[in-house]
Structure formats: structure tokens, C-alpha cells
Chain A
């Protein structure tokens, strides 16, 4: 190998690739480190200490079985912290109500892009004490997308399946669940802050694994990407759940509008019963959670003075 390397042009470059990291990877790392340092200065918190403070469950070879990678998550946390503190200026209420150990965080879904999940996760990482690293369940079709399917597991996102959720809860992790799913996130502007139908799976899961459910109301997400219609044929063509028509994109504003986010954490529910009960019995419990979140949302909307302040 060494002999062959010497007659190849750019032998030194080749050797450096053989011995260590590729230049691209090195560049990404140095940019990432700079971003983390910048975010730490702006936010005024030690992000690395926060990452180090979370509880992980590595396997025999030191990897998270679901693919969580602290190195990648560090950079993501830097971006999330900037969004959380500066761009969306998120206010968090009642985060100390989240119990230790396994927990299901159930929230309303909004805003075309899952920024609400990022805000809840960064609140748990930056504002909770000790920091918690919540996992969230993502749609199955994201596993078919290149790059996304690599990035999501590294950030601790898990493909949404009951088996995965059960396994995570058994190892005392926290899970963010949006029972509205794609119906909730792709609402048009006229239906803002009206919760759509909840799935029943999360209550069955909570009953089965004896997990407390913390209701969370997210205010501010609906106005970040106001959508005036859902272009269904194109959505079908692209195999997406919805294709929102967003006027701001036509005016060149690709980023979400800098609305002010407010997160209200409610008191945890601890349900008891048979996870294989009839739908009607499970629906009662789901309705309880849904109406709590709806009333928390309504109260939050009454209390806020404006969308951007």
C-alpha cells in the first residue's frame, strides 16, 4: 500500500485520508466547534456540560442502540439553543412538573415544520435540571429519505413504532409524542390552535408501561408558517402527507417567522387500567388529555399580548 501510494499524485493527501479524517470532515468539525462556542457565548450556558449531563444507555461497544450520537447532537443543540433563546425567544412555564424517569410528553402539533419538537427538546435540555434528552417518534417515511434518515437517528429521533416506544420507556427515557400526527402539523391558518383528532396509541402505551403523561401546550407555532391551503395532488405526487401553500415562501421568506414561543407544561397524568381496553374506554382518557391541552392552549392565547412579543 505504501509503495503504491508513493507513485500516485497527491500521495500526501491520500495518505492523510488513510491515516485520519478526511479534510471535509475536519472542516465540518471546526465549523461545528466554532458554532458551539458562538452559541455558548450568546446563550450564556455551557452546552457541552449539558450534553454531558444527560443519561445515555450505550451498548457494549459504546454506541446508543438507536443511533444517538452526542457529537452530532452537540452541533444541533447549538443551533437549537440559538433558535430557542434568540430567534423564538421561548418562554417556558412549569418545566419542573416533568417527573424523573420515564415520561410521555404529549403536545399539540403545529407549524408545517416540527419546530415545536425542537423547542420542547431544547427546553428540556437547557431549562430542565438535570438536563433531559427527550426522544421523539418520527414518521416512518422519513427513514426512506437520504440524509434525513441518517441525521434523525443521530439526533436521537426514533422511527415511530410501538415496539420502539416501549423499549425506550422501559429504559426510563422521555418521549415527545404528537398524537395529532401529520394532521396537526399541516393545519391551515383558519384552524390554528384547534386540536384535531388524537390517536389512541399513546394512552395504551402509557397504560402498558405505567408511564406518566405530561400535557404540553405550545403557543406560537401556528403563526411561523401560515398556510392558506393544502395542495393535495402535489402532496400525493411527492408522497408527502400534505403540501401546504405558504404565502411567505412566495415573498422569499424561507425561514419561519420569528414568532414568540410559549411552552406550558401541565401536571402529569398517571392513568391506570388495561392497555387492551375497548376504544371507548381509552378514548375517555385521551379526551381528558386532549381537553387539558386545549384549555391550556386557550389560556395561553388569552394571556399573550401579541404574536411576536
Chain B
């Protein structure tokens, strides 16, 4: 019996040889879906990006079965990920915000993750993997809202995943869960304790989310759970680190100049893609292209540090925070005082991840947005 099957498999080779005549980009899986037939213009624009693909090495093969569900898809990182993923996979996005300029083949549900409708998304189609980016970091939101969003919604998501046997979960945590501490080793490994909430209560639910994902990792052996803990993600994203580096005169604490790691958003996207490969599971620290002192980083990003003594900085930042003139809570000053860097050797050996964007490129992208804002 097996012989005719193998014969059948060898037959289509002449057809494959004919394919180039059709002048269609070969790697573009959604072409067959018809919706894309018309849009010929955006294709050449995306050509250079696709040429860069072979350098990323191992890349998931186009899969007809199973979609990738991306929560929080309308954030900058989510959009980047969706744009990368939709070439090889079917992508389903979930976010409260609208995803206006999305590629046509991305199915977007503009719903709240806490609502019942979330279950229908799982029920309706075959979900191959879930990438959880829908994490609320905004320190201005109330504790209650952050908790219900980050913990309750995530717990529900995990329940659905168990119910519908989703084989893969990728959670984007962060190196912040380790917390900047004076007694940190220079490079934190994945098994370091998560002390991020010790000094900064606002981190509590992010640490809890990481813990939840860890317990899910042990509880659900059928699901491959990957927790990524990247260092400060910078680029065009809107987060504390990028906003800080975009400042014209960022504050530095007098007498402190810790070593810092930053990673480009596209490198993080690539790490998520690598984590989506079958067989990958575990916790991975994601490091950026080299570490340098904070003062060098600020200068290379084009800022001039404003050096302020620690107690003064704390009081001033508290006041500014209260008056809503600053978006940095004063507890985050610890990031400007103590090291919180990660050791990326596990990601290198097991995930095959290596940062590709140089530090110059990273900081150029940070700066570019500053000039656009100006």
C-alpha cells in the first residue's frame, strides 16, 4: 500500500517546474485566497523585506491548518508581528482597538478579551497557537482595571486554550519582572527570582501573569508554553524605555550609571516567530545587541542627560506624576540606578535567536519617531 502513495507524491514535480511562469511571489501563502488577487501594488514595496527573510534562518513553513491567534494585535508590536506572520500563517487578531490598515487576510475581532465572545473565536475555527501580547502596562490605569485585564482575562484565555486543546502558547513577559535590584547579578538567568514587584507595586500583576503562565506550563503538558522575557524593547513602540530614550533631556540619577540592554522591536517579533515553531517550550530571556552604560545609550540616542540627585528626582517625579505632567512613576527610577540585564544564552542555544539589529539601528528608530513627533 505505501508504494502508490510515494508514487503519487513524486508525480507533481513537473507541475512545480511550471509554476514560475505564473509570475506570482512563491512564498505568499494567502494569494490563493482570492481577496488578494487585485492588490498588485503593495507587493513590490514589500519585496526588500522578503529578501531579508533567508537570513532569519529557520522559518515556519506555510501551514494551511490552524490559525495563530494574536491578542493585543493593535499595539505596535502586535501589528509588526501580524504583518510578519500573515505571510506564512492565518492570523486572527483580537483587540479592543480597531486595526484599520491591516492586511486583508488578517481576521480581526474588535472585542474585549474578557467578554464571552472570545470563546466563539476558539469554537469557530482551528487555533494552532496563541500569542498573548494583550498585556496592559500603562501605569496610569487603576489597579483594578490592570488586574482584571492582565490576570482575569489571561486566566480565561488559558481556560479556553485547555478546553479547545490549543497546542501552543507564547506569552510576552519582560525582564522587568526580575526587577532592578542592587544585588542583582550582572546577567539574570531564567531561573532568577521574580522580584520586580518588591519595590514597585505596579509590577505586581505583570509578575503574577508570568507566574500564571509558568503554572500553565507545568499543568498543561500537552500545550507547549513559551514565556519570553525580553529586555527593554525599543523602537517605534510606545513603552517606558522608548519614551525615555526619546526625551530631549532625559533624567539620570546623580552618581548612578548602570549598564543597560535594549532590544529592537523587530528582533522581539522574530523571537516570537521562533517561539512559534513546534517543539519549542520553556522560558527564554531575549537580549539585545550588546549592553552599554545608560549615559552612553542616552547620548547615542541624541539626548542630553539631565542629572538630578536621587531624593530630588523622586520627589519631583512624584509631583509631576500627580499633576499628570510625567508618564513615569517614581518607582521606575530604580531602572536608572540598578542593573537589570538578562543572560540570553538559552535563547541562543535552544531557540536559535540572535539579535540582528545593531545598536545604531535600534537607536535610529527610536530617534526617528522623536523627529516625527516634533
Contact = CB atoms under 8 A, between A and B. Distances in A.
B255 A146 contact: yes
Contact of A159 (B185, B255, B291): B185
Nearest to A168: B186
B358 to A, nearest CB: 8
Contact of A63 (B183, B296, B309, B339): B296
B164 interface: no
A57 B24 CA distance: 48
Contact of A65 (B187, B253, B257): B187
A146 B310 contact: yes
B183 A159 contact: yes
Contacts of B309: 146
Nearest to A142: B182
B331 to A, nearest CB: 16
Interface string A150-163: 10010000110111
A164 B186 contact: yes
Contact of B291 (A63, A140, A163): A63
A150 to B, nearest CB: 4
A60 B290 CA distance: 5
A306 to B, nearest CB: 41
Interface residues of A, number: 29
B256 A146 contact: yes
B352 interface: no
Contacts of A167: 185-187
Given A61-B359, A63-B293, A146-B253, A140 B183 contact: yes
Contacts of B185: 159, 161-164, 167
A66 B186 CA distance: 7
A163 B186 CA distance: 8
B338 interface: yes
A145 B185 CA distance: 17
B27 interface: no
A190 interface: no
A59 B290 contact: yes
A278 interface: no
A65 B182 contact: no
B256 A59 contact: no
Nearest to A66: B186
B189 interface: yes
Nearest to A62: B290
18 contacts: A18-B304, A60-B289, A60-B358, A61-B289, A63-B292, A65-B186, A144-B182, A146-B254, A146-B310, A147-B254, A147-B255, A150-B257, A159-B182, A159-B183, A161-B183, A163-B185, A163-B187, A167-B185
Interface of B: 182-187, 189, 253-259, 289-293, 296, 304, 309-310, 337-339, 358-359
In the A-B complex, the 10 residue pairs with the smallest Cβ-Cβ separation, listed nearest first, are A146-B255, A61-B290, A163-B185, A143-B182, A60-B290, A147-B255, A59-B290, A140-B183, A161-B185, A150-B257
